[in-house]
Structure 1
Amino acid sequence: MWYRLFRQLFRMLFFCLYRWEVTGKEKVPAQGPVVVCCNHINNLDPPLVGSALKRQVRFMAKEELFKIPVISWLIRRFGAFPVSRGSTDKRALKTALELLKDGELLGVFPEGTRSKTGELGQAHSGAAFIALKSDAVLVPAAITGYYRPFGKIRIRFGDPIDLTPYRQDRMNSQTVRAVTERMMGEIQSLKEQAGG
């Protein structure tokens, strides 16, 4: 109930204030485990991604946010769970894999932090690892534009990345790195298609 309420409120905000444009949302499977990986340019990115899709999106969020009473209450109801940045957080990985096992949709920002320039930063390997370790579909997405009043913000979802060739090989750091590079390449292509 809370998620649907907040999603509707954010949709109205993005439509009225930022003239948002959503492309390719039909490429995100309507059911089953999915990992949506997107670039990160603003604190409003998670609700933007969540508002663009019909399914609930569960996000990893930095654990510091869960120590702020009002923010913690809000993001928990928006489907977020904590992740410790700067190290391999086994608890967060376990939570993510359990959610995907239950057929949920996971939202991840591979860069781990916002880009101040709008350019793609260095990606962490967690998203690729989670997608390979599970049976999830991996969908790239890109946000372009600026969160300025009456400006225009765009989110474009790309075609799912076929992980079959990667899953046929034994999973190791080289495989995870290859998927990470492919994923970030797809996100960059989506950014360029949107003019960002």
Structure 2
Amino acid sequence: MNLYPLGKFLVSALYYPLYRVKVIGKENFPKEGGVLLCTNHIDNLDPPIVGMTCPRTVRFMAKEELFKMPLLKSILPRVQAYPVKRGMSDREAFRKTLKILKGGEVVGLFPEGTRSKTGELTKGLAGAGFFALKGDCVVMPCAIIGPYKPFKSLKVVYGKPMDISEFRERRASAEEVTEAIMSEIGKLIKEYK
């Protein structure tokens, strides 16, 4: 049973007023086709915040350990999340991600791989560039600008879709594409902070 719509409603009802969430650039989000949604990672609440502000359903790749926790293991698949083994090449998760993107859906990814301890943008991992190159999709840079403090303003900024075709044509490396994605996220943070 798909709990995504219910989850989105409940999270929105709680977090919009609590964190005074302001969404910028929502109109930039493609209405159809595969989208790799790449966001900075500052808090454990980032996935629900992105999920509630995004105009389309987001399939999040989440660390495998979460799927072993009693409550989460039954909820996560029902809110469209799927597991990935961290720190190693997880071929099954890679194949699933490419299949989702090529099927015209949205995959949510935190290129940094883990939360930033300082809140500053850190280096992205090559996986984001790999999916951008192989996924037959556009890349949406997104910035979450905190802090997560009750009744302080939290911004979620959607940039313009990135066209990766030029990188594909010249066979750019996954690392180079990730750097370009992180640069776009960094620009959004700088502009809207």
Gapped regions of structure 2 (runs ≥ 5): none
Conservation of the 8 A alpha-carbon contact between 2:132 and 2:177: no
> Which among 140, 157, 180 is matched to residue 182 of structure 1?
180
| Secondary structure in 2 matching 1:69 | coil
| Secondary structure in 2 matching 1:59 | strand
Identity of aligned residues (%): 47
Q: Structure 1 residue 175: deviation in Å?
A: 2.2
Q: Deviations over 1:50-89 (max 9, x none)?
A: 1112211000000000000211222222211001111111
Matched residue, 1:164: 165
Aligned letter for 1:150? F
Distance 1:115 1:147 in 2: 14
| Secondary structure in 1 matching 2:75 | helix
User: What TM-score, normalized by structure 1, do the two folds share?
Assistant: 0.94
Distance 1:10 1:151 in 2: 17
Distance 2:13 2:89 in 1: 37
User: What TM-score, normalized by structure 2, do the two folds share?
Assistant: 0.96
Q: What RMSD over aligned residues (CA atoms) do the two structures have, in Å?
A: 1.1
Pair 1:118 & 2:119 matched: yes
Matches within 5 A, 1:3-152: 3-152=4-153
Distance 2:163 2:188 in 1: 17
Q: Structure 1 residue 125: deviation in Å?
A: 0.8
Distance 2:45 2:79 in 1: 12
Distance 2:113 2:79 in 1: 19
Distance 2:18 2:96 in 1: 34
After the TM superposition, which parts of structure 1 deviate over 4 Å for at least 4 consecutive aligned residues? none
Q: How many pairs does the alignment contain? A: 192
Distance 1:53 1:120 in 2: 21
Aligned letter for 1:138? V
